[in-house]
Amino acid sequence: MDEPRSISTLNEAQARYILIDPALRAAGWDLGDRTQVRFEVPVDGYDAEPWNGVTDYCLYDASGAVLAVIEAKRTCRSPREGEEQLRHYVTEIARHQSFVPFGSMSIRMSVNRHLSNSACPTILQQQNSRNSRR
């Protein structure tokens, strides 16, 4: 996949391939290991309206709990709509486990730095371990 000339022209698939996938690899995630990373994951108990009820990425700990949800959006879409969708997904997932997963939405180029710095498996597991004790 060729890199587009402008970040503002990225569609969702390009945002994943160019921005999110490399950032997750840099953070230590093995995208080929379905015990760590899954794509297009249906959210149990989620009403599919107005969205399809499927996350773009879920990142898992060794026990199978969701550590993080990542949503990829076309850069021309409203960030507010994506944030609301992500909030609903995270809330529904939290109902089925002892902590609220981290949520991240990819719209801008800063995703590489953000995900590489905050989404490494060890950091997410430590954060969620602290949150589940509260």
Asked if residue 1 is part of any domain, the answer here is: no
Residue 3 pLDDT greater than 80, yes or no? no
Asked if residue 2 is part of any domain, the answer here is: no
Tokens representing 41 are 């994951």
Tokens representing 82 are 């994506």
Whole-angstrom Cα distance, residue 129 to residue 21?
Answer: 25
DSSP annotation of 71 reads: E
Would you say 19 and 10 are in contact if contact means Cβ atoms under 8 Å apart?
yes
Asked if residue 106 is part of any domain, the answer here is: yes
Range of the domain at 116: 7-132
Asked if residue 19 is part of any domain, the answer here is: yes
Q: Total structural domains in the chain?
A: 1
Asked if residue 83 is part of any domain, the answer here is: yes
User: Residue 14: what pLDDT?
Assistant: 83
* Start-to-end C-alpha separation, the chain: 44
Asked if residue 107 is part of any domain, the answer here is: yes
Asked if residue 44 is part of any domain, the answer here is: yes
Tokens representing 76 are 């021309």
User: Residue 39: what pLDDT?
Assistant: 93
CATH number, domain containing residue 79:
3.90.1570
Asked if residue 93 is part of any domain, the answer here is: yes
Split at pLDDT 50, 70, 90, the class of 4 is very low
| Average pLDDT over the chain, rounded to an integer | 76
- Please give the model's pTM, rounded to 2 decimal places: 0.73
The tens digit of pLDDT for each residue in 18-75 reads: 888 998 999 999 999 999 999 988 887 655 555 567 888 999 999 999 999 998 876 5
User: Residue 66: what pLDDT?
Assistant: 92
Residue 94 pLDDT greater than 70, yes or no? yes
Neighbour tally for 98: CB within 10 Å: 10
